[in-house]
A and B are shown apart, each in its own frame.
Chain A
């Protein structure tokens, strides 16, 4: 014989269908003969009487009261049923209403709940709020990428130490690019999986290296961004260390690439020492810093292109050769001669306008090594700094992603308007010979940058030599090949890498000088 029990919840209205659903679920459980949850109206009490579930004390219940009537094998089963009922009452909320199409949960906490096993946060809110969101993410056990800039150095150090102590990865702030487990984060390209792992203190640099690797039919494991300030004296490369530690122990990573704009010298030394201890080949590219000597497992490279090529060739086990151009010298020379004629004797300078900051740095490095010293708003010594970034002077390289151009407007990878205007103006300057630029594809970037330039390029193509490279792959949303054709149709010479485009531009300048002599 079972035990019958009635529980009365005074003044607890619940809808009858809602109650029946709970009762139905309970009746399927073992040891329960019958269950009824009903408001104690006269009619319902009669039903309970007929099913012999109503006990004496329930007869006095009013229609505002809820009767829970259970007939079960044991007291323990009844207690279990009551627990089930109270949790059904409490939790009749979010489970199913969570993931609805088109509904964005309004808060961090609510959004987090919709994820199964959340482990990463990508933060791109305005800088003044980014640290707070990052801290919240770390507190919730998430690895973090802070895309936002304008986070204080103090906050950066604090967050990085906190991440370290929690054994979590914190990329950024001002980390534009990362690829983790094949997932592009921020401004990043779609590149194949492979055995090369990268840690980079540069966004567009990381994009260029991964794209060069992809074009060599090699691939990557993870591309970890550190943020631009990580290798400063103050931060001391906390994220670079964490990144190296991850890649060192990652069995899929067989080659490691470390990438940075000029690091603080002691920090650079520290990483070189660290790299030497790793049981894997390490390719290092510290753009613009003094050259180090390769040896052992370490290969120093002087450009992004070289870093990508060396890594790709190591990855495939091939001998490493580094051509100046992918095309033959003959092809290059004949292209070049045709273009120089276009100038008809006027113009003698390179004018470069870049969306990718590290690409601009790479170009400046290459130009310098060809004996051309450009003025710039980017990483050059003081005497070569442009007094006004809007006015070119002799050879000029402008990083249009610098703060002075992005205050109150989108980055040039997204909005090409400002650069188009500048290119048009520059074509009117008789001193301009070559207009050099980059296009950066991938997630986050403009969906058709070449298409956004055609009008401008068609206006200037007969006046000046146009040279470009496109950082992207055919798997990117914009499609690399399609973008190349669009530029070519506008009379632009498109080289496979930014390094080659820059060398080509330098070659043109030399050619002009020689013709003049």
Chain B
């Protein structure tokens, strides 16, 4: 045994010891050590999983699938036409399963609003009675290849984006984005909300359908996202660039299939007037991408992360359709005038499919314009993205962040790395008012609770 000529040292723990390294010009690395999560038995299991060749191979495969997926927007269809199993009095919602009586305010608001929109109830009292009487079949969007932002309500008459993963052949659906302010997805249900939904059903949906059905190739969504990430979007809380890029494509198609200029103008106004119009398309693309790893044996990569405003749920690729749930946290954020943190509803929505697919909060460094959500400076945003890199399998080959020397976005959220580092994934989100009927009050961030990750590892066995 020999002492090395020069010591190059990794400091694990107390920062106070690094002064000696600075003074003696010793090469050192320091890191923000956090305790791993779980008791001794779980840590042993963690180490066993970390060193398992089967788990390694499965996670590599998951990473490849997430990278190789080609989500292409091919159609817009009514939910009842495209989701075969959708029954008459059925509503799909965001997050893991939840009963009416356990639903949070905005989820109830959106549910009741959807009952009025579908004509199942005349007014909000009737809608409430209907729901409370168990007349409505509730089911998570995720159980039907679908996702929805915030409350994520999908009712039979709503038009859905249809995105096909052309590498693996699966399809995924997401509702059309209504715009900002008083909207159903944030739990609002006033007349103007219902009227807008009707217009979307009667005008927007059919015309988008006509346009897309006229396209030979469809629209490659991953390509728009890749480009938008280089234009300051992270495609969850900021979709300005992506919406513009999408508009570029859809306008050409509108002009081909619609003769009425006034109508085209209305459609274009609606899309360009909503900077988040792209979010729902992106979510469908992310769902089509992440579904490609669902059920992948022995993989510890997260395949779904979703919240219903009451609970947050995780699905792990190796555990198929099982949900691991915990109480939903309350996001910290910036609020529209007149609202405060006290009004914020617990975390809600399927939009965390974005982070599972390597964008959104994980790509925060790409979006300097919205760093106010994460503490103020672009370097804070960079920190988050780099931190996420340490709990994911590897850098994305398509989604790059120019500011980080074209580093690929952190791809393949791995429960083993989350538990090992004690770093919980970072989520960007809109914030709904906790009372039904009010709508969006701000936007912000939070971290997913550690307990779901522990539960998932406790449950898993190497097969």
Residues of A near any B CB (own CB < 8 A): 10-15, 18, 62, 64, 89-90, 92-97, 102-112, 114-126, 129, 132-133, 137, 142-143, 147-148, 167-169, 180-186, 188, 190, 222, 242, 245-246, 249-250, 443-444, 477
Contact = CB atoms under 8 A, between A and B. Distances in A.
A133 B220 contact: no
Given A89-B397, A92-B400, A64 B223 contact: yes
B217 interface: yes
Contact of B17 (A89, A109, A167, A444): A444
A133 B406 CA distance: 32
Contacts of A181: 3-7
A119 B390 contact: no
Interface in B15-47: 16-17, 19-21, 23-24, 26-36, 43, 47
18 contacts: A14-B226, A89-B397, A90-B397, A92-B408, A93-B395, A94-B407, A106-B390, A117-B8, A119-B7, A122-B13, A124-B17, A148-B13, A222-B3, A245-B1, A246-B3, A443-B19, A444-B14, A444-B17
B361 to A, nearest CB: 15
B274 interface: no
B1 A116 contact: no
B334 to A, nearest CB: 25
Nearest to A118: B8
B31 A110 contact: yes
Contact of B35 (A14, A123, A125): A125
Interface residues of B, number: 65
Nearest to B410: A93
B382 to A, nearest CB: 8
Given A97-B405, A107-B390, A122 B12 contact: yes
A181 B406 CA distance: 39
A111 B9 CA distance: 10
Given A132-B43, A185-B20, A112 B10 contact: yes
B272 interface: no
A117 B28 CA distance: 11
A124 B12 contact: yes
B57 interface: no
Given A13-B224, A64-B220, A108-B33, 4 more contacts: A14-B400, A18-B400, A107-B390, A250-B2
B389 interface: yes
B29 A123 contact: no
A96 B16 CA distance: 27
A185 B407 contact: no
A168 B2 CA distance: 8
Contact of A132 (B32, B36, B217, B398): B36
A444 B390 contact: no
B1 A93 contact: no
A13 B402 CA distance: 13
A10 to B, nearest CB: 8
B386 interface: yes
In the complex, the 10 A-B pairs of residues with the closest C-beta atoms, listed nearest first: A124-B13, A92-B406, A111-B31, A443-B20, A93-B407, A13-B223, A107-B390, A111-B29, A120-B9, A184-B20
Given A92-B407, A103-B386, A15 B4 contact: no
Contacts of B10: 108, 111-112, 115, 118, 120-122, 137, 142
A396 B389 CA distance: 56
B36 A106 contact: no
B403 to A, nearest CB: 9
A183 B386 contact: no
Contacts of B2: 246, 249-250
A120 B8 contact: yes
Nearest to A442: B20
Given A108-B31, A180-B3, A123 B405 contact: no
B32 A104 contact: yes
Contact of B14 (A15, A104, A124): A124
Contact of B30 (A93, A111, A126, A184): A111
Contacts of B227: 13, 15
B70 interface: yes
B209 interface: no
A105 B4 CA distance: 24
